[in-house]
Structure 1
């Protein structure tokens, strides 16, 4: 009995020592905070949550790698912020993250929130990578802290216009935008390219990114009998608009848009109206099904976040990995030190071989056209 008791006490002591050592080792790890900012409340919260999930996934995997930077074990932590898709809230959050001295930022989602936030990040010297904001104006100031991991509106709007004019041989189109930096910018690019391709823009209308009733706009467009409608806006408005098109007998009309309406949730938002089958929309990059390792990555995502995948999470995942890669190459998590390495990125990611132009754009942005077959988003190319 005495020997057994001594053995038990020795085992307990050894276990306590190991636990203490592990605790001390964990305390020795340097915590590096990476922020995600996007609309995780409101009408497009499903899209914002998807990008946040992508960052979470990357951070979990990075922490599993036992990374050492600057001679210290690194533990990455996510700082999750909600900008509600509101430019004022976005700038408030941006300043908060500057004050907290986070190491890097993934976000924001929309151009209208990303553009004003980008100047704040530039002033405090913290790099940010957007995986969704597509207005070309974002990178025009040339901030060395601003990067985009997706094709911009010049590529997206043009791709849809070329498809409408060249592949579908359409002659007339009506254009609607939601007056946001994203929607209005995308619509202008589409209109310019459509006109170059010989299409006639018979009507230009606008709404807001909070609207739900489009009957008056659609009735006016219906009278002009266009072959198609292009909408520069979000799925939260595109869904009800499609539903109302069907109610007005416009179910045969083609419908075009950009990446923000091109989500798996569009069909649900449109109450699975048959006109969803007439939608063609452009997304930056290639579909997850065609990414090298994409199907396996999607399985891991679905296991962690069932039924939450939308569109941008693979890009948010890659953006997080790109930040970590720059830190490793600089051997520092200090933004001032690793920022020059971020500009020199040549990273083989899930979504692409990531390299940036001096303005922070991808050197080789890809575009995917999508349709909706049997109410499911389906790549066309």
Structure 2
């Protein structure tokens, strides 16, 4: 009995948090699947840290995209003694949860949170593997200004940390380049009817509209804009730049230009091969965040190997010196925990299919 216990693998828990219920559960599940695929692959290959065989276990929690639930989930992951956390998905959940991980000394790697505030709180535990809204908003605005020669815009956000943050960054760049911002309206992330806002915007006749929010609201927003015969291009960020947008927006996607932090999956160094493995395992297409969550797990394991330890403090100590070549490219962190060389990809939709428009290195 004692011998078999001595030979047993050390189980190391990798925490994961994202919305697995609610309107954007498809994005949370996509992110979780990416992390799960990495865990399964690493376990299959075999992992040894400090001479001890290690088995990874994904501790996946549902934060329902709710800041209050996110802090409860964060505390549960701390209590579960996870070695690292992959998550959360939303900025509005990642930011409040980050305080709890910081207090516990657990490295948190978000594959999706883009609000700059996430890494500006002075915590040593916050890292992300995607570019920020301070890069994404300007990339969208610059395309509107330089390529489409936009002179007037209307801005709408969903009042979340993500949606407002992205819309504000777009607006800031637009104003700095002489674009007239006709109005800035606020809705919420549960809204379904945007006709009052859109009717007002139609009267303003802007060249373009910026919508900050997820696909669950961004889709109906664009569909209703089309129904009201609004011709303006609608700019949206990564939360709405999904395969599901065309299902939610119908032909309204013909007017959409949207951005994603990072390279397009087809352009990522290991993207096409990853996509094949993902589809074979989960029988569904990649949405957005799966490759980033996958890389985040490998980055965490790379830190364990470099630290030669699964101890929280030792993992955290080597995280800033990460230099990891993964599916999404080379990951190196700056002093805040942000990517040193961020990339933004811009997309449009043709006949409901998303296709790459441009790649911007920030």
Matched, 1:371 2:316: no
1:328-364 deviations in whole A, cap 9, x for unaligned? 1111111111211111101111102111011100111
Could you state the TM-score of these two structures normalised by the residue count of structure 2? 0.96
TM-score normalised over the length of structure 1: 0.92
1:3 aligned residue: none
Aligned residue runs from structure 1 range 302-317, under 5 A: 302-317=279-294
**Equivalent residue, structure 2, for 1:262:** 241
Structure 1 segments (4+ residues) deviating >2 Å: 23-27
Give the alignment of 1:53-92 within 5 angstroms.
53-92=33-72
Q: Is the 8 A contact 1:46 1:308 kept in 2?
A: no
Q: Cα distance, 1:307 vs. partner?
A: 2.0
Q: d(CA) in 2 for partners of 1:315 and 1:27? A: 34
2:319 matched residue in structure 1: 342
In structure 2, C-alpha distance between the alignment counterparts of 1:182 and 1:169, rounded to whole Å:
26
Q: For 2:102, which of 92, 107, 122 is the aligned residue?
A: 122
Say if 1:212 and 1:240, in contact at 8 Å, map to a contact too: yes
CA deviation vs aligned residue, 1:235-286 (integer Å, no higher than 9, x gap): 0001111111122111x2200011100000000011x22x211111111110
Aligned match of 1:98 in 78, 81, 86? 78
Instruction: Give the total of aligned pairs.
Output: 358
Residue 185 of structure 2 corresponds to 205
Distance across 1 between alignment mates of 2:224 and 2:270: 39
Unaligned 5+ runs, structure 2: none
Higher relative strand content:
2
Does residue 1:332 correspond to 2:312, yes or no?
Answer: no
Q: Measure how far apart 1:26 and its partner are.
A: 9.8
Deviation at 1:24, TM superposition (A): 3.7
Matched, 1:281 2:261: no
User: Aligned partners of 2:330 and 2:351: how far apart in 1?
Assistant: 33
1:38-66 per-residue CA deviation (whole Å, 9 max, x = no partner) reads 00100000000000000000001111121
| 1:150 match: secondary structure | coil
In the TM superposition, what are the counterparts of 1:1-12 in structure 2 within 5 Å?
Answer: none
RMSD over aligned CA atoms reads 1.5
Partner of 2:295: 318
**Equivalent runs, 1:135-284 vs 2, <5 Å:** 135-250=115-230, 252-270=231-249, 272-273=250-251, 275-284=252-261
Deviation at 1:308, TM superposition (A): 4.1
